[in-house]
Amino acid sequence: MSIKSLPPLHSLVVFEAAARHLNFTRTAEELFVTQGAVSRQVRLLEEFLGKELFIREKRSLRLTSVGEKFYNNVRKSLLILSTTTEEILQKEDDFQVTIATSNAMASYWLLPRFREFQHLYPYVDLRITAVDSLKAMHQSEFDIALFYCRHPPEDFQATPLFNEVIFPVCSPSYLAQNPINEPKDILNNTLLSLDVSEDWFNWEDWLLDSGLSLQPSTPRQIKINSYLLLMQAALNNQGVALGWSNLVDEYLKSGLLVKPLDKALVTNSQYYLLEPLQQEPKRSAVQHVRHWLLSHAEQIPAL
């Protein structure tokens, strides 16, 4: 059955507010329009119906008998529509999960596994918000965060995902032209360094663990403030970078990057699954995402 004889829908919203307030000025304030706009919409509705809905007096406004009957039915209909809309929106929110993580983690670890998640949980609307620092993460709204840190923030529930394992990486072409047989050979190469405010492990740390230090004779360092750009520089034969296990694994498997040395360092830092501290039970969709993420966690014992 088709729906016929519907009046202008916007005029119904204006009429409901005007009938509730019995005052065009307060109606205009509620709807953020002018009093004239309210009057025009009411008049449009009355012309459509061919009936007067209000009795207009000098300082008062009241409903006619037709207007009162019409108001009761319009209000019921709008309430039903509003309630149904809220239920639908709430259901959509129930299945929407936002993950906040760094650009590197999103690009190298999360997105390559995204198709698997969609296959397992097609009804979950997974959204990824890329942030580049813990400070920026605090300013974002999310259900779950994936972040590297030496010490997890105290205002979040922190669950370890995997340990930090670090090793030098470079392109095969670069290595062919710049042989690296032992840690001290690193000092004869261009070092690609991550230059960020976060407390990431750096070349100074790696060299110190190897009993070495940067020397004035070190050819040069190229400092880059993005891990994605750092890896691109390594792929472009521009030097040696520090690679993080789980972030560069696909490059190593494909042969686009290689490890010139067997030395790998496991630190006390970890990648964490971070969740806001809250009292209410987690939504089922959030629990599904959490379970899936933890199923990919790989704890590597310290060397």
Counting the structural domains of the chain, the total is 2
Quick check: is 69 in a domain? yes
pLDDT at 90: 60
CATH number of the domain bearing residue 69: 1.10.10.10
Quick check: is 280 in a domain? no
The DSSP code for 110 is: I
Taking only the tens place, the pLDDT of each residue in 97-149 is 889 888 888 888 888 888 898 888 888 888 888 887 777 676 678 889 998 87
Cα dist from 14 to 8, 51, 125, 203, 245, whole Å: 10, 17, 35, 67, 61
Q: Is the pLDDT of residue 21 over 80?
A: yes
Query: How many Cβ atoms from other residues are within 10 Å of residue 213's Cβ?
Result: 11
Distance CA 147, CA 195 (A): 17
Q: In the predicted model, what is the mean pLDDT of the chain?
A: 85
Regarding whether 168 and 258 lie in a shared domain, the answer is yes
Q: What's the pLDDT band for 197 if we cut at 50, 70, 90?
A: low
Question: At which of 27, 59, 88 does a domain end?
Answer: 88
Print the domain residue range for 52. Answer: 9-88
Quick check: is 272 in a domain? no
CATH number of the domain bearing residue 249: 3.40.190.10
Query: Which residues does 109 contact at the CB level (< 8 Å), separation at least 6?
Result: 146, 246, 247
Q: Is the pLDDT of residue 259 over 50?
A: yes
3-state class (DSSP) for residue 89: helix
pLDDT at 201: 79
pLDDT at 138: 66
Quick check: is 35 in a domain? yes
Quick check: is 202 in a domain? yes
Quick check: is 254 in a domain? yes
Cα dist from 264 to 92, 167, 234, 235, 248, whole Å: 45, 5, 18, 20, 13
Quick check: is 187 in a domain? yes
Distance CA 219, CA 200 (A): 23
pLDDT at 1: 45
Q: What's the pLDDT band for 280 if we cut at 50, 70, 90?
A: low
Give the end-to-end CA distance of the chain in Å, rounded to a whole number.
Answer: 73
Regarding whether 171 and 83 lie in a shared domain, the answer is no
Distance CA 20, CA 179 (A): 83
Distance CA 239, CA 213 (A): 18
Quick check: is 177 in a domain? yes
